[in-house]
Amino acid sequence: MSIPDQKIYPRTSDKSTVYLKPLIKNPSILIGDYTFYNDFKNDPTDFEKNNILYHYPINHDRLIIGKFCSIACGAKFIFTSANHTLNSFSTYPFPIFWEEYETLPVNIVRAWDNKGDIVVGNDVWIGYEAVIMSGVHIGNGAIIGTRAVVTKDVEPYAIVGGVPAKIIRKRFKDDVIKKLQMTSWWDWDIEKIKKKLKFLTTMDIENL
Would you say residue 104 lies in a domain?
A: no
Mean pLDDT by groups of 10 residues along the chain of 208 residues? 73 95 95 97 97 90 97 96 79 78 66 85 98 97 98 98 98 96 95 92 86
pTM metric for this prediction: 0.90
Residues 116 and 145 occupy one common structural domain: yes
- Determine the Cα–Cα distance for residues 158 and 123; give it in Å rounded to an integer: 12
What is the pLDDT at residue 103? 62
Residue 84: active-site member? yes
Residues 132 and 187 occupy one common structural domain: no
| Domain count of the fold of the chain | 2
Q: With 0-12 CB in 10 A as exposed, 13-18 as middle and 19+ as buried, what is 179?
A: middle
What is the pLDDT at residue 35? 97
Centre a 10 Å sphere on the Cβ of residue 158 and count the other Cβ atoms it contains: 21
CA distances from 123 to 140, 167, 186 (A): 6, 18, 8
The parent domain of residue 181 ranges over: 173-208
Residues 71 and 134 occupy one common structural domain: yes
Catalytically annotated residue among 55, 60, 84, 137: 84
Centre a 10 Å sphere on the Cβ of residue 36 and count the other Cβ atoms it contains: 19
